[in-house]
């Protein structure tokens, strides 16, 4: 490949053993990155563990002439997340990119959701984004304070279920909305250290999503929802070319690549201290406001 976007860069991909994470790992390696493939190897609901998924991707990368190592850390564990960052630096001498991709599903309607189903999803997605990011950002900040040049990337994984909303996924959607907010704030905090922070909301069929929705999918639909369509924007964001882009959420699928626009203040009126006067005021504000988006990113009817 003549133009390898990530030549010599070192990347960590969490949840890198299957689905979208696997595609990220393989394409980053194809573009010259040395990859730490992290995957606990658990089931879709987060139970169990296996070293096989991460090692299989590593073996594939090495067989194709790339460099990679496997890691089986639980990225929602603060200490294991620290060790993951240290492994990349120890193994390859540096770290340039952290792709936070690991996730699980415990879908349930709110009235039936258990505390454990809520806690597990929030822990893996939200804390599992925070913990590796915290240690990676700390590593890069220390380099910056020593006067070393830093051109680093944090690439998070959010979801249209979070930024737009999907019934049956209050736990998953809340975590993914939290990751979008985390991305925007972290981007503002870390830019001074040469670190960009962006997020991807993927549209893809994986073991996490293949049985969601209703009806059979056509071959054309399956092709458009293959996880390989997500890897190009991840690879570009991981490259040095992307250093001017930060604090953004990208939607990616085989049908489109888009930038999601965040919350903006809508119609505004003067405040009132009397709640009895608010009825017509609020109804007018809501009538003039843009509708919330549906799962397709467009205004709900």
Tokens matching residue 76: 């929602």
Q: Which residues on neighbouring strands pair with residue 13, listed in sequence order? A: 37, 99
Tell me: pLDDT of 3 over 60: yes
Average pLDDT over residues 266-280: 96
pLDDT tens profile 162-207: 999 999 999 999 999 999 999 999 999 999 999 999 999 999 765 5
Tokens matching residue 196: 């960009």
Select from 3.30.70.20, 3.30.565.10, 3.40.50.720, 3.40.190.10 the CATH code of 10-260.
Answer: 3.40.50.720
162 with 177: CB under 8 angstroms?
yes
Average pLDDT over residues 217-221: 66
Q: How far apart are CA 1 and CA 23, in angstroms?
A: 17
- With tokens 């690549």, the residue in question is 257
Tell me: pLDDT of 44 over 80: no
Tell me: pLDDT of 210 over 60: no
Catalytic residue among 172, 182, 229, 250: 172
Tokens matching residue 38: 């992290």
Average pLDDT over residues 136-147: 98
Average pLDDT over residues 131-159: 98
Which of 164, 183, 201, 295 has its CA nearest to residue 246?
183
Which of 120, 121, 40 has its CA nearest to residue 84?
40
- With tokens 């709110």, the residue in question is 110
Tell me: pLDDT of 48 over 70: no
pLDDT tens profile 90-119: 999 999 999 999 999 999 999 999 999 999
Alpha carbon dihedral 68, 74, 80, 83, in 10-degree steps, equals 10
Which of 180, 155, 125, 150 has its CA nearest to residue 234?
155
pTM: predicted TM-score of the whole model, two decimal places: 0.91
Average pLDDT over residues 273-285: 97
Q: What is the mean pLDDT of the chain?
A: 92
Tell me: pLDDT of 215 over 60: no
* Domain residue ranges in the chain: 10-260, 267-301
Of the two residues 42 and 91, the one the predictor is more confident about is 91
Q: Above pLDDT 70, what percent of the chain?
A: 91
Q: How far apart are CA 157 and CA 84, in angstroms?
A: 18
With bands split at pLDDT 50, 70 and 90, how would you rate the model's confidence at 27?
Answer: very high
The 8-class DSSP code of residue 293 comes to B
Told to judge if 172 belongs to the known catalytic residues of this protein, a careful annotator would answer: yes
């Amino acid at each position: 490949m003549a133009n390898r976007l990530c030549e010599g860069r070192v990347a960590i991909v969490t949840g890198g053993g299957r689905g979208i994470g696997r595609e990220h790992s393989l394409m980053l390696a194809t573009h010259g990155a040395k990859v730490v493939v992290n995957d606990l190897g658990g089931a879709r609901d987060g139970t169990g563990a296996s070293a096989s998924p991460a090692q299989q991707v590593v073996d594939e990368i090495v067989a194709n002439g790339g460099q990679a190592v496997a890691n089986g850390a639980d990225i929602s564990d603060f200490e294991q997340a620290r060790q993951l960052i240290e492994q990349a630096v120890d193994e390859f001498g540096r770290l340039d990119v952290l792709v936070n991709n690991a996730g699980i599903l415990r879908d349930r309607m709110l009235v039936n959701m258990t505390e454990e189903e809520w806690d597990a999803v929030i822990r893996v997605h939200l804390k599992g984004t925070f913990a590796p990011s915290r240690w990676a950002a700390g590593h890069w900040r220390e380099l910056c304070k020593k006067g070393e040049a830093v051109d680093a990337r944090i690439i998070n994984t959010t979801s249209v279920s979070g930024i737009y909303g999907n019934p049956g996924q209050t736990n998953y959607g809340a975590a993914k909305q939290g990751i979008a907010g985390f991305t925007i704030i972290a981007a503002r905090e870390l830019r001074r250290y040469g670190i960009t922070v962006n997020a991807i909301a993927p549209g893809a069929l994986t073991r996490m999503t293949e049985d969601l929705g209703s009806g059979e999918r056509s071959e054309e639909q399956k092709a458009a929802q293959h996880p390989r369509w997500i890897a190009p924007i991840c690879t570009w964001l991981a490259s040095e070319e992307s250093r001017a882009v930060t604090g953004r959420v990208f939607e990616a699928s085989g049908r489109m690549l888009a930038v999601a626009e965040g919350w903006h203040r809508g119609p505004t009126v003067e405040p009132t201290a009397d709640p009895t006067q608010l009825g017509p005021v609020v109804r007018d504000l809501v009538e003039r406001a843009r509708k919330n988006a549906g799962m397709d990113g467009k205004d709900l009817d």
